[in-house]
Structure 1
Amino acid sequence: MRTLYGTMQSGNVYKVRLLLALLNLPYEFVPVDLRNRAHRSPDFLQLNPFGQIPVWVEETLILRDSQAILVYLAKHDDSASWLPEDAAGMAKVMQWLSVAANEIEHSFTALRRHFLLNAPVEVTQAQRIAERLLQVMEHHLQEQPWLECNRPTIADIACFPYLSRAEDSRIDLSPYPQVTAWLHQIQQLPNYISFSSSPSTVWLSAHDEAHPPIHPTPHSPKMA
């Protein structure tokens, strides 16, 4: 049995949900009630001592990082299309997973939390990081339609979520047509699912809205 723990409002959880949908893999989703600190409960801390989401459980395997989960799931695809097997291709993809965990986290993600949840952040610094990131991506995508390998890989999946919600971070993507086209390409992939949380949904989930009890929700692969 495959189980994903998280919230529907988390971009890091969403990137895992998106890859699962694209791979057409069934799994169960267990919502974690952050408002009531379920992520700090003894049961959850046994899964992830850091008290963070997402967490992936598959039989005896427990993974607690979204980038690591993407790498693991990519290996379910026998064609190796989502994560190249050759050392150079794999390293190029992994570079973008690092970008997702660093530049995007410290810009788009931080700004989104600030503007939607009033989380403290150095706005000017985060905006500078976002601007530089977009400049690099715009130039990079002028040479190829995808981040690496001329095809969609987990590099694209890792970087997509918070850029796709740029309006939440109050960042204008109109000066970056290549980045915008890249986002649109991902949205056209078969079995694509959207990161549909609105600002009000994020706010309520964090402060006001009581989540349902933690019960697994089955997700079955789509039929052709």
Structure 2
Amino acid sequence: MLKLYDFELSGHAHRARLMLALLKLPYEKVTVNLAQGEHKQDDYRAINPFTQVPVLDDDGLVIRDSIAIITHLANRYAPEWNPQTVNEQAEIQQWLALAARTLAEGPARARLITVFGAQFDQATVIATSHQTLEIVNQLLNGKQWMVANKPTIADIACYSYIAHAPEGKVALDAYPNILAWLSNVEALDGFEGMQKTPLPPAV
């Protein structure tokens, strides 16, 4: 049985939940209460010394990174979600890199400020987010999905923090291609959304 160490408000954890939901894989959910510091306790440090969520335990294989988790799930259970042609892999890897760094430093960080009280310069983070989203919107022009003509792990990796960017005061109204792409992801059979927090005024 798959076991996911999870926290509902984590966009990283939502990536894993969304992939599991879309693949219709049964799993045991173990909630790690970050607000109460459970991720800092010795029991959880033994599972993930980096004290982060999510963690996936797949029959003893412990995976401690959200992008590694969705990649593993695709490779093991649904390879069509991670096509291996040279061109498609190059495109997928570019989107995964964007999810791991650029989105993390933009929309994800903006959300950390408003939802979790993180101490970043809000104006700078919001400006960085819009710079990134403008490029993503351009790259999605005329495309239903990020790679090829089908959903892949690239879409799952990027979805959560882009969809919830307004929670970090980052409005999406100016990005029609992004909005259409979000709708495509949300229309997938088995889609599972992330719990929303009250929206602050977006800019």
Smaller-chain TM-score bracket: over 0.9
Contact 1:115 1:169 in 2 (8 A): yes
3-state SS of paired residue (1:75): helix
**How does the TM-score come out when normalised to structure 1?**
0.84
Q: Can you list the C-alpha shifts for 1:77-125, whole angstroms capped at 9, x where unaligned?
A: 44x3210112331221121111111111111111111122321112232
- TM-superposition CA deviations, 1:59-84 (whole Å, max 9, x none): 22100000000100011344x32101
The match for 1:82 is 81
1:147-162 superposed matches below 5 A: 147-162=146-161
How many angstroms apart in 1 are the aligned matches of 2:169 and 2:126? 9
Is 1:124 matched with 2:97? no
Q: How many residues align?
A: 199
What secondary structure, in the 3-state scheme, does the structure 2 residue paired with 1:144 have? coil
Looking at structure 2, the residues matched to 10 and 89 of structure 1 have their Cα atoms a distance apart, in angstroms, of 28
63-72 or 39-48, larger mean C-alpha shift: 39-48
Deviations 1:131-164 (A, max 9, x none): 1211111111113211112211110111100111
TM-score when normalising by structure 2: 0.93
* Contact 1:8–1:197 (8 Å) recurs in 2: no
Query: What is the letter of the counterpart of residue 157 of structure 1?
Result: I
Aligned residues of 2:126 and 2:169 also touching (Cα < 8 A): no
Tell me the distance in 2 between the aligned counterparts of 1:100 and 1:46. Answer: 27
Structure 2 Cα separation of the partners of residues 187 and 144 of structure 1: 16
Residue aligning to 1:34: 34
Conservation of the 8 A alpha-carbon contact between 1:108 and 1:130: yes
Structure 2 counterpart of 1:172: 171
Q: 1:117 to 1:40 in 2, by over 3 A?
A: closer
Q: What secondary structure sits across from 1:76 in the alignment?
A: helix
Corresponding residue for 2:55?
A: 55
Where 1:186 maps in the other structure, the secondary structure is helix
Q: Distance in 1 between the 2:166 and 2:126 partners?
A: 13
Q: Distance in 2 between matches of 1:199 and 1:95?
A: 32
Q: Which moved more, 1:128-137 or 1:21-30?
A: 128-137
One-letter code aligned to 1:178: N
Distance 2:118 2:3 in 1: 30
Judge conservation of contact 1:142–1:178 (CA < 8 Å) in 2: yes
Partner of 1:209: none
Unaligned runs of 5+ in 2: none
Q: Distance in 2 between matches of 1:149 and 1:54?
A: 28
Could you list the runs of 4 or more consecutive aligned residues of structure 1 that deviate by over 6 angstroms after TM superposition? none
| 1:16 has 2:16 as partner | yes
Structure 2 distance, partners of 1:36, 1:15, is 22
SS in 1 for 2:36: coil
Distance 1:137 1:153 in 2: 16
Q: Map residues 68-217 of structure 1 onto 2, 5 A cutoff.
A: 68-78=68-78, 80-199=79-198
What secondary structure, in the 3-state scheme, does the structure 2 residue paired with 1:62 have? strand
